[in-house]
Structure 1
Amino acid sequence: MRDLKEIYSLGVRFGHALLLGSGAFLVLGCQGSTPSSPKPPEVGVVQPDTRTVKTYATLTGNLTATQTVTLKARVRGFLRSINFTDGAFVKQGDLLFVIEPETYQAQLSAAEAEVAGAQVTLAHAQRELDRVLELVKKKAVSQSDVDEWQAQRDSAAALVAKAKASADMARINLEYTQVTAPFDGRMDKHLQDVGALVGEGQAIDLAVLTRLDPIWAHANINEKDLIKIKARMRRNHESGYHGKTVPLFLAIEGEEGFPHEGSLDFVATAVNANTGTILVRGIFDNPAVEGRMPMLVPGMYVRMRVAIDEIQDALLVPDEALGMDQGGSFLLVVNEEDTVQRRTVTIGDLQDDGSRVVLKGLTPNDWVVNQGLQRARPGLRVTPIKNTTSSQPPVQPAQSAPDPVKEDSSSSNAS
């Protein structure tokens, strides 16, 4: 019994010693693994580019054909043939329709015969007049004979002129039996069929021919932008739209940017007093590819961009650096203390290289966050990774290195 009590007493004292030793070990371990403060997140920053840029106005308008004509039957007759396929592209002078020519060929032949007969009569009257003029000198005929043959000669000359006019008219009517293309263009569907009687009492529509290349775009520009354009042209000694120094850029539905380039070729005479706008017209190349319909078609809704003015020393930032909320557009900038600040800005046009003009709210010395925006919040301290030029691709912030103290403590625990 006594032996059992002694064994139990030794076990209790050993357990107390073990607990005290473990506590001391934990205290020493905690003292050796005191955590350090986290490293500020890294973000990519750039300074604004400074260069001269153009400001643009975006207009909305419609496309119209440069030439459209309705081909008509100008003489009466049955339609003999149609020499094109609906929707085909034709060249100037191509034969499109034939109206029965036999009647008009016969009329031309009869008119030419009348011309020949009148010329014979004229020649006879001229010879007789010449003969009596010789006889009157010899006192063989009277002056009245001379006057009579002179009148007959003049009458015959008038008949010749009349006959020639009739022949010309018959020749024109014969030419009207062949309807040709007055210019290059695309044919619409034919409006009359072969065998139809056309030209009965009035000019009958046969088809519509439209010129698609080049093509016009009409739009209205406001008075303020017009004044800015004219001021820029005077300042830069530009020759005006007839000299094609005012480029226009155009896009149709579904196109990105403004891929079609043309030029301004007409400005209306007066500003509309009710709307404060003026009509402008641009002309654009619009070639058909392999005989197919060109990209731009009359009647299409289009967007046009025209340069209004130039901004010297404009500030530009990558467009992806911009944010938008209820307060408007803003940028995140890093100050001298490496703290993120929210900067409300007024923006301008998006440039072709993807940069955005900033009109107000930014200085050339600001560092703008353009990479790692999800790690940047106003008031947060960051580690900026600076790019020297915004034209370079943004630097990817490096991944945070593991804390060496934590590695040591984890190694110690593992051991």
Structure 2
Amino acid sequence: MLNTRSALIRGGLCILLSVLAACSDTGGGDGRPAPEVGYVVVQPSAVPVSVTLGGRTVAYETSEVRPQINGLIRRRLFTEGSVVRAGQPLYEIDASLYRAAVNQAEANLASARASADAAVARADRYQPLAEMEAIAQQDYTDAAAQARVARAGVAQNAAALDTARINLRYTTVTAPISGRIGRSLYTVGALVNASQQSPLAVIQRLDPIFVDMQQSSAELTSLRQALQRGEVTPGSTSVRLLLEDGSDYGVAGQVKFSDIAVDESTGTVTLRASFPNPQGLLLPGMFVKAVFDQAVEPRAFLVPQPALQRDFDGSAFVFVVTPDNKAQRRKVTAARTNGTNWVVTAGLNPGDKVITQGLGNNLRPDGEVRPVPASAPQNVSPPGRNGGGKPASGQAR
């Protein structure tokens, strides 16, 4: 009887040890099976450094229409808000006095030419007489001087005539540039003068149109230093524009230049871009956002956002699958995103298997895992198989 009882005890112990050994073989040593995780294989790629800057639209060209003479406005020759062409008449100023000045200058020029002809003829007659000593040499010298003075008088009166004609032409005020003209600040009958402070109207050329963007001088300095160190390469000059309502403008622009000075009041540098504006949708003074790739990181890793976690101190880390199918905690540097991915610039190696799925399945550093490619299809077993409906080995949890 004693021998039988001992044999039963030894048999029970063997069964118990077998069960414990089987449990230890299926998990990480705590009796639970190794969690199944999904992973992606990361490789370095060229990732653009995209920036979004606020800006204001600025007219490509702006010209103030101003009078260059004094007088009363007789007619306005344009429609407010319309498109005008360079040289197109805009205002007509009373030309009576200026037309009379032209007539007077023409008469003065004719008189000066007549006097000059007489003086030159007298000098020509005196020259041979002076050579024969028929007249005093001084008489010829005086006649020749009077002829030169008369010719100078002709030139002076010709210049006065040109001035009078220019002033007469200024009685028609023309458009200095082509563009859209605003409202008229002076009406018919208003007295204008060449030294007035306010213009008659303002013309703005809106196609193309400029967008002035403001970027922190610290960000720009950091970018230039990174370019010098070779950490990034120059990006594209193509710019995408977002309107005030958040919609896309739809037409790409080009960055033209960066200002050479920092605004002391704001600590920013102005960048200017040019955009086509054939429909006139963009008006000067509009607030917009410009999006463009200011640089390119040549060897960065794109990691799906769910894979990246952060410690209490804000540092970033991910889990990677080691060659022996263990989860390794890896600190990484990720300061920005690109679409749905984090841009990791340090901490990863080409070909690393970054865990993106199953991070909440009792995942522990250096713990065993069952890795499968991310988003692999799940084969759900019917109830009663593999432990009463539990996922079979190799299935995603």
Determine the C-alpha separation between the residues in 2 that align with 1:127 and 1:234.
84
Question: Alpha-carbon deviations, 1:307-355, whole Å to 9, x = none?
Answer: 25x434211124576578977586764635878788765424444x754
Aligned to 1:26: none
2:254 alignment counterpart = 262
Determine which of 276, 279, 301 is the counterpart of 1:315.
301
Alignment of structure 1 residues 91-106 onto 2, 5 Å? 91-106=85-100
- Report if aligned partners of 1:187, 1:209 keep a CA contact under 8 Å in 2: yes
1:224, distance to aligned residue in structure 2 (A) = 6.1
1:379 to 2:362 alignment: yes
More divergent stretch after superposition (199-208 vs 248-257): 248-257
Q: Distance in 1 between matches of 2:202 and 2:78?
A: 12
Structure of higher CA gyration radius = 1
Which residue does the alignment assign to 2:7? none
Per-residue CA distance 1:21-60 (angstroms, 9 max, x = gap): xxxxxxxxxxxxxxxxx99998754222311334355544
* Counterparts in 2 of 1:363 and 1:379: CA distance versus 1, 3 Å: farther
Residue 171 of structure 1 is matched in structure 2 by: 165
Give 1:51-62 correspondences, 5 Å limit.
51-56=45-50, 58-62=52-56
| RMSD of aligned residue pairs (Cα, Å) | 4.3
Structure 2 residue 130 is the aligned partner of structure 1 residue 136: yes
Segments of 5+ residues of structure 2 without an aligned counterpart are 1-31, 390-397
Counterpart of 2:271 (choices 281, 286, 290) is: 281
Q: Is the 8 A contact 1:246 1:264 kept in 2?
A: no
Distance 1:396 1:95, change over 3 A: farther
* Mapped pair 1:184 → 2:171: no
Change (3 A) 1:334 1:75: same
Write the distance in 1 (CA, Å) between the matches of 2:256 and 2:196.
40
Structure 1 residue 97 displacement after superposition: 2.1
Alignment check: 8 A CA contact 2:217 2:269 kept = no
> What SS does the aligned partner of 2:44 have?
strand
In the other structure, the counterpart of 2:190 is 196
What residue in structure 1 maps to residue 380 of structure 2?
A: 400
Q: Is the 8 A contact 2:54 2:287 kept in 1?
A: no
AA in 1 matched with 2:377: P
Cα offset, 1:403, TM superposition? 3.3
Write out aligned runs for 1:74-223 (5 A): 74-199=68-193, 202=196, 205-212=199-206, 213-223=208-218
Q: Secondary structure at the match of 2:180?
A: strand
Task: Select which of 207, 225, 239 maps to 2:220.
Answer: 225
**How far did 1:126 drift?**
0.9
The residue identity in structure 2 corresponding to 1:199 is N
Partner of 1:251: 241
Q: 1:99 deviation in Å?
A: 1.8
Q: Deviations over 1:153-189 (max 9, x none)?
A: 1221222122122112212212222222222332221
In structure 2, C-alpha distance between the alignment counterparts of 1:234 and 1:340, rounded to whole Å: 34
The gaps in structure 1 that reach 5 residues or longer are: 1-37, 388-394, 410-415
Task: Summarize the Cα distance change of 1:273–1:88 in structure 2 as closer, same or farther, 3 Å threshold.
Answer: closer
- Aligned to 1:357, which of 326, 333, 343? 343
Deviation at 1:207, TM superposition (A): 0.7
Question: Residues of 2 paired with 1:364 and 1:378: CA distance?
Answer: 26
Q: What amino acid does structure 2 have at the position aligned with 1:386?
A: P
Distance 1:231 1:164, change over 3 A: farther
Q: Percent of counterpart pairs with the same letter?
A: 29
Task: Give, in whole Å, the separation in 2 of the partners of 1:73 and 1:63.
Answer: 28
Give deviations 1:56-95, integer Å, cap 9, x for gaps. 5554444433432321122222223323332223332232
- Cα distance in 2, alignment partners of residues 125 and 77 from structure 1: 40
Distance in 1 (CA, whole Å) between partners of 2:228 and 2:125 is 78
**3-state secondary structure, aligned to 1:93:** coil
Distance 1:344 1:258 in 2: 40
Whole-angstrom distance in 2 between the partners of 1:234 and 1:84: 58
- Asked whether the 8 Å contact 2:179–2:204 carries over to 1, the reply is yes
Aligned-pair CA distance for 1:109: 2.8
C-alpha distance in structure 2 between counterparts of 1:90 and 1:323, whole Å: 60
Work out whether residues 43 and 397 of structure 1, in 8 Å CA contact, stay in contact via their aligned partners in 2: no
Per-residue CA shift, 1:227-265, capped at 9, x if unaligned? 6427737969x9x9xxxx972635344246997432242
* 1:301, distance to aligned residue in structure 2 (A): 5.1
Q: Is the 8 A contact 2:35 2:361 kept in 1?
A: no
- 8 Å CA contact retained: 2:239, 2:292: yes
Q: TM-score, normalised by structure 1?
A: 0.67
More helix by share: 1
Letter in 2 for 1:154: R
Instruction: Give the whole-Å Cα distance in 2 for the aligned partners of 1:85 and 1:354.
Output: 52
Q: Is the 8 A contact 2:255 2:274 kept in 1?
A: yes
What secondary structure, in the 3-state scheme, does the structure 2 residue paired with 1:315 have?
A: strand
Q: Which AA in structure 1 matches 2:221?
A: L
Deviation at 1:278, TM superposition (A): 5.9
Mapped partners of 2:326, 2:251: distance in 1: 42
Assess, with a 3 A threshold, how the Cα gap between structure 1 residues 405 and 55 changes in structure 2: closer, same or farther. Answer: closer
Query: Which amino acid in the other structure matches residue 144 of structure 1?
Result: Q
Give the 3-state SS of the residue equivalent to 2:200 in structure 1: strand
Conservation of the 8 A alpha-carbon contact between 1:263 and 1:284 = yes
